[in-house]
Amino acid sequence: MAYVGNTHAEHVADNRWLNKFVEKYHKVMDRLQEARLHEARRQIAPYLSNLDDETLKALGFDRNELKSRL
């Protein structure tokens, strides 16, 4: 294989660095998504708690679950 400008060892080292960077980037993005989801659920819970049990059930929620979010 021909690596332009890099030896094989340098190319492998570059790939390791890139792989670590991508792994950390994905981890950060996953945590950011989890944090936003948690915050959205926390903010919507008070509005959902004003609905009657039948409507909550139709939307796929449980009143006890909502109480734990408040």
pLDDT single digits (tens) 19-59: 899 999 999 999 999 999 999 988 988 899 899 999 999 99
Q: Count CB atoms within 10 A of the CB of residue 17.
A: 10
Whether 61 and 45 have beta carbons less than 8 Å apart is answered as no
16: which 2 tokens? 């390791």
Instruction: Tell me the three state secondary structure of residue 56.
Output: helix
The gap from C-alpha 32 to its chain's centroid, in whole angstroms, comes to: 5
Residue spans of the domains in the chain: they are 8-69
Instruction: Select from 45, 40, 39 the least CA-distant residue to 64.
Output: 45
Instruction: Give the model's pLDDT for residue 5.
Output: 62
Better-scored residue on pLDDT, 7 or 63: 63
Q: What is the DSSP secondary structure assignment for residue 2, as one 8-state letter?
A: -
